[in-house]
Structure 1
Amino acid sequence: MALLAQQVISLAGTTPTYSAAAASTTVTCGERSFLHVKNTNGSSMTVTITATAKVRGQGVADIVVTVPATTGDKLIGPLTADLFASAADGVSASITYSSTTSVTVANIVI
């Protein structure tokens, strides 16, 4: 899994850089961390963020977001550590995409 670099929004303005989506990626969790997904494919697709939190011993459901076809654009988050941090490192969230064709992503921190 590739770690998406964080891009911090600044007062001077930030032009995010988007990467082609891979089958699975990770992002660093944080109260101000968001995933921006753009889909120009002719079909809608889904983004799944693996939830790792537990409430009274029961796992919290993964977050699944549908990104519409052609001009689909979703900003997802915040990706907080209490819900999404992996047990392996305690800081990264695991993200999978149902399709990667014509899908780009950016990890944005506000």
Structure 2
Amino acid sequence: MRRFSPDNDFQSVIREKDWALVYFSATWCGPCKTMGPIMERVASDHQGSVTSIKVDVDEAPELAGRFGLRSVPTLLLFKDGQVVDGQVGSMPKEAVTAWIREKKEKEHE
């Protein structure tokens, strides 16, 4: 999972692949600490088909504002640079994987 740096252009980062999964978190967030290892495994499992990016909302508050985030952890799934769907809160790996699969399959319908 790549860590987003505010020095990078977010739009260019999420357009590197057709699909991008952005994991918004914060170091002070308890559920984010639980989700961190889960998101690393999800990123590893989808390497090559989904670009996975971690964004610390304290380091990039403008992104949190741009997407209207009110809570972390938040997952946003992008297709071609546009938000397809989002999930808020801690989720097990299987749920994250099923969510990604569902959205990708829906795209092919």
Range into which the TM-score falls when normalised by the shorter chain: under 0.3
Structure 1-normalised TM-score? 0.25
Normalized per residue, the structure richer in strand is 1
Structure 2-normalised TM-score? 0.25
Task: Tell which has more relative contact order, 1 or 2 (C-alpha 8 A, sep 6+).
Answer: 1
Larger Rg: 1
Normalized per residue, the structure richer in helix is 2
